[in-house]
Amino acid sequence: MRSPALLLPFLLAALPGCEAVVPIAAANGVSLMLTGRAVPDLVVSGVSGRDCSIAYLDAGERYCRAEPEPAPEPRCTRSLGAVDCWTGPVPGTPPPRDAGDARPAAPAQPWPERLI
């Protein structure tokens, strides 16, 4: 169910009457050219915290865009004298250890329990 509060800026823009249509249309046109959003879109985007624009509807998309997925964190590996960071798959078979990984412990030396 959609909130009636989202329609409030559009209803308020229609209240002044015919004399105010030209300045409101001019303000919306300038705002749309400069920011990609009309004045009511700026209000809706500010209230909802999402990226909303009537231009998205013209492009065949939804009025408010979904939040983009965060980019994966780079994986850093050691190389000769430097650290290389990869955002995609790490080359190599098997892939090298991460730069922050500790080296595996050396195997314990067998030591006799008693010396004779």
pTM > 0.85: no
Phi first, then psi, for residue 99 (nearest 5°) are -65, -30
Compute the distance between CA of residue 56 and CA of residue 46 in angstroms, rounded to an integer.
17
Which tens digit of pLDDT belongs to each residue from 35-49? Answer: 878 888 888 888 888
Compute the distance between CA of residue 85 and CA of residue 23 in angstroms, rounded to an integer.
53
Which tens digit of pLDDT belongs to each residue from 1-27? Answer: 455 666 666 666 666 666 667 777 888
Token pair for residue 59? 């492009």
